[in-house]
Structure 1
Amino acid sequence: MTDEDRVAVVTGGAGAIGAAIVAALAATGHRTVVLDRTGEVACDLASESSTRRAAAEVVDRYGRCDVLVHCAGVIDPMSLREFDAARWRAVQAVNVEAALWLAQAFSPGMAERGFGRIVFVASDTAWSPPGAEFLPYVASKAAMLGVVRTLAVSLGGNGIAVTAVAPGLTDTPIARSVNDAGQIEAVVARQAMKRPLVPEDTAHTVAFLATDGAEALTGQVLVVDGGLVMR
């Protein structure tokens, strides 16, 4: 099977990093499907039922999913004092649970074909939290790493590789909404490579993980942050 035969589903494909991932996968010949509120397949990823319906629609309309990229994410900063259970659960639902429902839906077909790529977009904040108010977001991204490693073990025998890409602070509208220019410059100054990160940095790494060249990579997290976090 070549990349030209493969269907790649990208959640959050309407966002800056998601759109860059869609473009990178399309450039390598994948048939891309955006799963988002305004995507080719409309979905509310905070809702389990909506996410499961969207997965079924993908299979019905496109016949398969060979590459699943979960890029959708919610930040919703809140301090411990204003911690709210409903808001906490909404962050976990989008960032972690939706990925599980989609992996559960698409992995049987991947197993039948003996090929699959599941890539989660995590965050380097799992190792370097930017502040206490980001607890729901950081916790969700750290949970994602455990999911990646566990799924890699359970799905690897069927030819399905499960990995994560952990970007650093990337120049996107969402990042600028919760960080001022001085905060962004301070992060860049701490990086080994002194340049702002752009969505294509993450996208090119995801596109590589979707190729046959990455078939021995599974259960791993690639940190794409200009050398801020070195593990």
Structure 2
Amino acid sequence: MSSAGIVDEPVLITGGGRGLGAALVRAFAEQGARVLIDYRRSRDAAEELAASIGADRALAVRADVTDERQVADLFAAGREHFGAPVGTVVNNALADFSFNGDQRSSADRIRWDEFAAQFDGTVRGALHVAQAALPGMRERGGGRIVNIGTNLFQHPVVPYHDYTAGKAALLSLTRTLAADLGPDGILVNMVSGGLLRTTDASAATPAAVFDGIAASTPLRRVVTPAEFADAVLFFASPWSRAVTGQNLVVDGGLVNG
């Protein structure tokens, strides 16, 4: 990517204080964006990240995306700080989850409340954020919404039933929002990763799983958060101006189609 920058508008990264979210924040900041960093629990990490970018270009705000009022306050804080509405949203916030196949709930014992928690964090959260973004995006004459998905519903190498179902529903929401918001110049897409090396969520993943997945990819390695973030930048850039309702899989070639 060019150091001249491809994004100069305010960008919201939900779950931006750590892990993949922090990589996304850094990637957008490097491309000239002013970044609104949403966090729920990782206050110290989010504020440290914002400070490293600079107070004029980054702001960390606590908001639980499942709470509609907190999301509205998040957008208001961003507009006040940056003097402009958010033009790009990356729905990255993740309900509490650990990618540890040995500890996952199997088909015979998983409970509906585990599904409900993932749907709440993934779909409800993304819906609240998208709806709160719409007035500002329409004011700007357009906008971008990028949802973070997974390749697991195409290739359930580990059957995380609840997490995968939530992300599959998010893909459906991505496509229906794209159809509904296209006339407003608002593009809605998804970027789906496989196992990333390494985020907070994948820290519990055994090394053998990383090695097995790496061996199955054409690249013979696992994608890093920084590499994944590069793909998200595409959907916020002018180069994707005719692309909406799509799901780009970024997993080193493990899943095709």
* Distance of 2:233 and 2:81 partners within structure 1: 23
* Distance of 1:8 and 1:187 partners within structure 2: 32
Report the Cα offset of residue 5 of structure 1: 4.2
Report the Cα offset of residue 3 of structure 1: 5.2
1:46–1:90 contact (8 Å) kept in structure 2: no
- Partner of residue 70, structure 1: 91
1:59–1:93 Cα change, 3 Å: farther
Match of 1:147 among 164, 173, 176: 173
The equivalences for 1:160-199 within 5 A come to 160-172=186-198, 173-177=200-204, 179-199=205-225
* Distance of 1:91 and 1:52 partners within structure 2: 21
1:81–1:52 Cα change, 3 Å: farther
String of CA shifts for 1:13-32, please: whole Å, max 9, x gaps: 11221111111111111100
Question: Which segments of structure 1 move beyond 4 Å, counting only runs of 4 or more?
Answer: 2-5
1:163–1:219 contact (8 Å) kept in structure 2: yes
Aligned length: 228
Verify: 1:17 aligned to 2:20, yes or no.
Answer: yes
1:93–1:55 Cα change, 3 Å: farther
1:84–1:45 Cα change, 3 Å: farther
* Distance of 1:227 and 1:215 partners within structure 2: 25
Report the Cα offset of residue 86 of structure 1: 3.1
Verify: 1:82 aligned to 2:103, yes or no.
Answer: no
String of CA shifts for 1:87-128, please: whole Å, max 9, x gaps: 322211111111111100111221221120100110111211
Partner letter of residue 35 of structure 1?
A: D
* Secondary structure in structure 2 of the residue aligned to 1:203: helix
The equivalences for 1:17-166 within 5 A come to 17-37=20-40, 38=43, 39=46, 40-62=60-82, 63-74=84-95, 75=97, 77-132=104-159, 134-166=160-192
53-62 vs 40-49, greater mean Cα deviation: 53-62
* Distance of 2:256 and 2:161 partners within structure 1: 21
Verify: 1:221 aligned to 2:247, yes or no.
Answer: yes
1:47–1:93 contact (8 Å) kept in structure 2: no
Partner letter of residue 8 of structure 1?
A: V
* Distance of 2:222 and 2:255 partners within structure 1: 15
Q: Which sections of structure 2, spanning at least 5 residues, go unmatched?
A: 47-59, 99-103
* Distance of 1:53 and 1:136 partners within structure 2: 29
1:170–1:199 contact (8 Å) kept in structure 2: yes
RMSD: 1.8
2:7–2:236 contact (8 Å) kept in structure 1: no
Q: Which sections of structure 1, spanning at least 5 residues, go unmatched?
A: none
String of CA shifts for 1:146-167, please: whole Å, max 9, x gaps: 1111111111111111111001
Partner letter of residue 111 of structure 2?
A: D
String of CA shifts for 1:4-62, please: whole Å, max 9, x gaps: 64100001111221111111111111100111122411012343443344334334444
* Secondary structure in structure 1 of the residue aligned to 2:32: coil
* Distance of 2:6 and 2:79 partners within structure 1: 18
1:224–1:5 Cα change, 3 Å: closer
- With the length of structure 1 as denominator, give the TM-score of the two structures: 0.91
Partner letter of residue 215 of structure 1?
A: R
1:36–1:45 contact (8 Å) kept in structure 2: no
2:8–2:31 contact (8 Å) kept in structure 1: no
Report the Cα offset of residue 66 of structure 1: 0.3
